[in-house]
Structures are given as C-alpha cells and as structure tokens.
Structure 1
Amino acid sequence: MQVFKLCLKIFKKNLPVMSIYFGVFIMVSIIMMSNNRPTEQAGFIQAKTRMVVFSEESSPLIDGMKEVLSDIAVFEAIEDDENQLQDALYFRRISYILRIPENFTEDFLAGKNPTLSVTSVPEATSKIYIDMRLDQYLNTANIYVNQIPGIDAQTLNTYTLEDLDYETPVQMLEADQTFGEEGMMPYYFNYLAYTFMFVVIMGISTIMLVFNDLNIKRRNACAPMSSTSVTLQFYLATMLFSLLSWALLAGLSLLFSRNELSDSNTLAFILNSFVFALSSSSIAFLIGNLVKGREAISAIANVFTLGSCFISGVFVPQAILTDSVLKMASFLPTYWYVRGNTLIAISADFSKALMIQLAFAVAFFILAIVVGKKKRMAIEA
C-alpha cells in the first residue's frame, strides 16, 4: 500500500491550507445562523416626527388638520422666537415648523387655496411624510368645498376625517417559498458546496499533479507494481479523502442545525450532499488531469468554486437570480445541488436534481479517464 500511504502524506502536507477553508465554512455558517433566524413578526412602524404648529386662528378645520398630523407627529411647545426655533432645528429637537396664517379657514372655504408656511430640516425624509399627510387632508377637504357650496368648517372637518379614517387592510405574506428555506438546515448545506468543492479540488489535484509528473511516472513504470494496483490505491486514497471531507462538513451542518435533526428531510439533505460530493470529486479528477503547475491549482480552484457558487445560488438565492444566469448555471452540478436543497426544504420531489448530479459525476469521471489516458499515450509515444 505504498501509493496509498504516499497519498495520505501529501494530504497531510496540504492540511493547513484546507483547514483555512474549513474555518471559512464555520465562520460563514455562524454568521448565517445569527442573521437569518426567522422572526415572529414582520411589519413597519413609522417613527413620529417632532414638529411645532403656530396658528393665527382657531377653527374646526385647523383642529382637524392637527388631528390628522398627530398620527405621524409629536407637537412640541416652543416659544415663537426665531433664535430658539433655529436652535431647535439645528439640534434636531424638532424637524418641522408649520405656520397657519390668519383667515386661512375663510379663504379655504372660499376656494382661494391659501398657502401654509413651512420650515423644515433640509432633505429630511420626515418632511415628506408631513407634507403628504397635509396634502391628503386638504385635498380631500377641497373636494367637499367644490362639490358642496356653502359648507361650514365643522361639517367639512367631519366629512374629511370620516373619509381619512378608512383604511385598506394589508396582509403580510410570508417570503416566497420557491426559495423554500424553512429552517436553517438548507443554508448550512448550501454553503457546504463552497468549502467542499475547494478542498476536494485542492486535495485531489495536488495528488494528481505529483503522480502526473513525467519523471515520477517513468519511475513508477519501472517499479515492481502493476499499473492497476497503483491506480486502485490512488483512487482509494482520493475517495477516502473525499468521504472524510464530506463527512466532516455534513456533520458540521447538522451540528449547526441540531434543533432541526428531527425533521423528516434531514436524511434527504445528507443524501443530496453525498451525491454532490461524488460529482465534485469527479470534477477534481478532471481538473487534476488538466493542470500542469502547482500555482494553477489554487487559481483554478478559487475561480471555479467561487464562480459556480455565485451563479448557482449558494451565496445568492436562486429565486432572485435572472433566468439567463440560471440557464448558464444549470450546466453545473452545484446548481442542481442547491436546487435539490430547495426542493427538500419544501418537501418536494428532488429525484431529478439527484439524478442530474449523478450524471455529472459519471460524465466528469469518464472525461477525466479519457484525458488521463491521452496524456499517458502522449508520454509513451
């Protein structure tokens, strides 16, 4: 078992680099665990704006205006002094000053469209809400003034407030279940793809790079060991490495989502990740037969792993990716792995995603054998 032991020594030598990516997976999983816990309630509560109202008259129309504004504003009592008001605006004790001129109600009922004097903090978003609420009240009141000639201020205010009291019922819907992540387990198994692909590509490609060295291949050809035995030991070592990596990452995913281990879909997640491990190992075999330098292995592993994960839905949910990106990603096993996790999360049939990943595993493995055989024939020639 000399070849098998040699492979294990090479794996051990590259263990520090691979440990970094195991650490990255753990850190990302912890971050996702803290940031993506489901909330009990989703909604919006608007903060009230602090404002001051100075009115030179008192009427039901003015009272109604203040009543409407009270829903989104808090009225502060500040003396009508320019310096005090400027200081209050500057230090953000208030954000809005509304001045209502004398004879405003009389002019409004006469249809003269009197103007209000407004002073606010520049570019404050709160100003927009106050303006919208004022416009809503005055525009509704103006309709009654135009349609009911001679209407008095009290009746006008009553009608206007009744209209503004109507609210449209809003129902908060749950997130789009096509993404399907009920619970946290799908997140962890999705991120498993990034770490596993890189570690396996780095590990297997490094071993194959050593064995594909021209001088080593010639020396092995002279050794009293059949090529079948060498190949068998080599594949045994690489498969052991892949299975150990998969078991460790799958175990970590289950550890982070231990509260969901009783879920009936747990075994399906494990099965889906195991099939993905097979397809990733086949890709690693192919890359190992293609690379010609140690520096190229890290570059290819990073580019291929990050690229496939970004467009396949590992980092960005497939539900918000464009159709063109998803069509391109569908030629990669990572896409079908994430797709399988999404279907598992909503208890849908994921057998198609599983079969396609197996097809990728077989196709890449056969392609790797063909490429390796051509390289051997070129050396012998």
Structure 2
Amino acid sequence: MTVYRYFLKVAFKNKSIILMYTGIFFLLTLITGSGGQTDESRFVSTKLTLGIVDKSGTALSKGLSSYLSERNYTEDISEAADEKGLKENIFLEKIDAAVVIPEDFEETVLRKQEAVMIYSDQRKPETVQVKNQISKYLVFANATYQDGGFDLERVSGALREESEVKLIGGGSKNGGADAWFNQYFNFMSYVITAIYIATIGYVMSDFREERIEDRRKISSVKLSKFNTEVYLGQLTVAVAITSIFILGAVVLRGGDIAKVDFSKYMINTVVFSFSILCFTYLVNNMTRNRFIKNGISNVFSLGMAFISGVFISQEFLGKGVLAVAKFFPTYYFIRLNNRDASSIGDMGYELAAQLAFAVLFLTIGLMLSRRNSRAN
C-alpha cells in the first residue's frame, strides 16, 4: 500500500485548501445561523411615511386621511403638491409615498373609478400596502352609501374589527430547523465541489509528473495495482472531506436532527459526493496542469452554485437558467434538498439523475485515460 500511503501524504500537504474552504464555510454558517430561526405566525403591517394632499375637503376625504394617518406616519407636504414636488420628496426619501385626493373625489368613488393619485417609491416594495389600504377603505365606504351620503362611523367601526386567525397548516413546524439544514447542505455542495477538484486535482498533478510516471514504469508495481491504490486514496480523501461537513451539522444542530429528515440529507450528500468525485476523475484526465484545475475548481463550483439554486433559490431563477442547470448534478442535489421525501422511492429521480452523471463522467474519464496511456 505504498502508493496509497503516499497519496494520503501528498493530500495532507495540501490541507491548506481544505482548511481554507472548511473554515470559510463554518464561519458563514455560524454567522447566518447565529440569529436563530423564528416563525412569523401573523401578518405585520409596516408603517410608512405618507404625504397626503386633500384637494376635496369632504367628509369622505377627511375620513380616508384619518384612516391612513392611523396606520402610517404623515408629513405636511402642501408646499410640494404638484407632481414634480411630490416625486422629488420621494426621491430624497423624505416620504415613502404621496396620496393626492382630487376635488371630484366623492363622484369618482361612486362611479367606482380610480379615485386618488398615488406616487410611491419603487425602491420599497412595501409601499404597495398604501394602495391596498385605500382600496379597502373605499370598498367599505361604497358599501355604506345610502340616501346620498356615506356612513363613515360604520366604516370606521368595520375597519377596527379584527379577526383572530389560527394557522392550521403551512409554515415551519420545527422551529426553523428544516430551513437551517436545507441552507447548510445546499451551500455545502459548492464547498465540496471546490475542495474535491482542487485537493484531489493537486495530488493527481504530482502523480502524473513525468518523473513519477517513469519511476512507476520501471518499478515492480503493476499498473492495475497502482491505479487501485490511487483510486482508494481518492475515495479516502473524499470520504474524509464529506464526513467533516456531515459531522459539522451534527455538532452545530445535533439537537434538531430528530426534527428533520436527516437521512434524506445524508443519502443525497453521499450520492452527490460520488458524482463530484467522478467529475474530478474526468478533470484529472483532461489536464495535468494544476493551475487549470484550480481554475476549473473555482469556475465550475461557483457557476453551478449560481445557476443551480445554492445562492439563489431555484424558484427565483429563470427557465433558461434552470434548463442549463439540469445538465449538472448540483441541480438535482438542490432539488431533492428543497422538497419533502419520506422514502428512497420519493428520492429516486434525483438520486438516479446524479448517479447517471457519475457514470457519464466516469466513462468519459476512462476514455481519456486510455487515450493518454496510448499516447505515452
């Protein structure tokens, strides 16, 4: 087992790569997880700073202004009542939105047309609630219109009524543990990919040097035995690296393992690691240059992380991006992590896809290896 021991020795010399990626990974994990996971069980409205320009002066417009003032902060912007002035105040962030109530406000409300002009800060998505608040008030006001007038007291009373809502489904049932494990293992795919290609690639660059090849050819060690020990060394390094991250999850959130489907993450990680190990074998047969391997490590791992859902959730990625991501195993690893799976059968498609990529990478790698052997 001389070759095997030497492989591990060379791999240990490159421990700085493993320590760097591992240290960054766990540091980011501690930072992002330090605030804990909390579940919001009710909708919380954000108070905005509003500018209200009431050109109508009717009881209905004053009632709307009062209603908006109860739910937001209001500013006097009478000096900037024109469109240019309102937009300037919004741009300078003096106000979040402006509401202009026209003179024919009541008539427009009765016709059920757009009754007010709203200027909002498009940089703040929460300003959409201003339109919702106005629409809500006017719907209630129209419902009370009778005998030529609005019953604003009934409107105010109806709007003050609150309903107790009890959530019976959805949301996190385990204090955010599943969200933490999901984020942890998703990000781990990026780190594993980078470490595998860089570390094992560096070691194989040493083994593929001409002087090492010449010494192997004149030695009594058979090529089959040499390759077997090299592959065993690669497998050992891969298992050690993956075990570090799995144990890291146990150490950081061991008390929450029973709350999540930890077996799903374990099985998915093992299959994904095997797929990336096969890809690393392909890269090692494509080039001996360690600088090229380092470039592939950075570009491939980061590229897959961006288009497969590691840094940006898959639900927010475009169809074109996801179509490209489907040609790589990381996509299926993230997809399985993001959904519920109670049995191996439920995980079959994603696991089979990752194994198919592993076979493909291994087959191409073997073809390149034979071609390189004949060339030598």
Task: Please name the residue that 1:310 is paired with.
Answer: 306
In the superposition, the TM-score normalised over structure 1's length comes to: 0.72
Q: In the aligned structure 1, how far is the partner of 2:232 from the partner of 2:31?
A: 36
Q: 1:288 Cα shift?
A: 0.9
Q: Which moved more, 1:31-40 or 1:66-75?
A: 66-75
Q: In the aligned structure 1, how far is the partner of 2:209 from the partner of 2:334?
A: 36
Match of 2:335 among 321, 328, 339: 339
Which one-letter code corresponds to 2:183 in the other structure? Answer: Y
Task: Please name the residue that 2:82 is paired with.
Answer: none
Which one-letter code corresponds to 1:327 in the other structure? Answer: A
In the superposition, the TM-score normalised over structure 2's length comes to: 0.72
Are 1:247 and 2:243 matched, yes or no? yes
Are 1:187 and 2:186 matched, yes or no? no
5 Å matches for 1:1-381?
A: 1-34=1-34, 37-47=37-47, 64=63, 67-72=66-71, 148=147, 151=148, 157-158=152-153, 161=156, 174=170, 182-263=178-259, 265-343=261-339, 345=340, 347=342, 349-379=346-376
Q: 1:361 Cα shift?
A: 1.8
Q: In the aligned structure 2, how far is the partner of 1:5 from the partner of 1:258?
A: 34
Change (3 A) 1:191 1:68: closer
Q: 1:195 Cα shift?
A: 1.2
Q: In the aligned structure 2, how far is the partner of 1:127 from the partner of 1:203?
A: 50
Change (3 A) 1:44 1:11: same
Indicate if the aligned counterparts of 2:333 and 2:354 stay in contact, CA closer than 8 A: yes
**Which has the larger Rg?**
1
Alpha-carbon displacement from aligned partner over 1:160-199 (angstroms, at most 9, x marks no partner): 657867999999995699xx99342122111111111111
Q: 1:277 Cα shift?
A: 1.2
Which one-letter code corresponds to 1:26 in the other structure? Answer: F
Which one-letter code corresponds to 1:216 in the other structure? Answer: I
SS of residue matched to 1:46: coil
Q: 1:137 Cα shift?
A: 7.0
Alpha-carbon displacement from aligned partner over 1:245-273 (angstroms, at most 9, x marks no partner): 11111111232332322146212211111
Q: 1:201 Cα shift?
A: 0.9
- Counting aligned pairs with the same residue, the percent is 25
Which one-letter code corresponds to 2:264 in the other structure? Answer: A
Change (3 A) 1:144 1:362: closer
Could you list the runs of 5+ residues in structure 1 that have no partner in the other structure?
A: 83-88, 99-106, 109-121
Q: 1:74 Cα shift?
A: 6.7
Q: In the aligned structure 2, how far is the partner of 1:325 from the partner of 1:47?
A: 37
Q: 1:24 Cα shift?
A: 1.7
Q: In the aligned structure 2, how far is the partner of 1:297 from the partner of 1:41?
A: 48
Which one-letter code corresponds to 1:199 in the other structure? Answer: I
Indicate if the aligned counterparts of 1:282 and 1:364 stay in contact, CA closer than 8 A: yes
Which one-letter code corresponds to 1:28 in the other structure? Answer: L
Q: CA RMSD in A?
A: 4.9
Which one-letter code corresponds to 1:203 in the other structure? Answer: T
Change (3 A) 1:252 1:377: same
Indicate if the aligned counterparts of 2:37 and 2:177 stay in contact, CA closer than 8 A: no
Task: Please name the residue that 2:83 is paired with.
Answer: none
Could you list the runs of 5+ residues in structure 2 that have no partner in the other structure?
A: 80-88, 101-105, 108-120
Change (3 A) 1:185 1:60: closer
Which one-letter code corresponds to 1:361 in the other structure? Answer: A
Which one-letter code corresponds to 2:354 in the other structure? Answer: Q
Q: In the aligned structure 2, how far is the partner of 1:129 from the partner of 1:309?
A: 34
Alpha-carbon displacement from aligned partner over 1:119-148 (angstroms, at most 9, x marks no partner): xxx999999988997898799979999x85
Which one-letter code corresponds to 1:71 in the other structure? Answer: E
Number of equivalences: 350
Alpha-carbon displacement from aligned partner over 1:11-37 (angstroms, at most 9, x marks no partner): 111111221001121123223324672
Which one-letter code corresponds to 2:301 in the other structure? Answer: T
Q: 1:307 Cα shift?
A: 0.9
Q: In the aligned structure 2, how far is the partner of 1:142 from the partner of 1:356?
A: 58
Indicate if the aligned counterparts of 1:208 and 1:289 stay in contact, CA closer than 8 A: no
Change (3 A) 1:207 1:132: closer
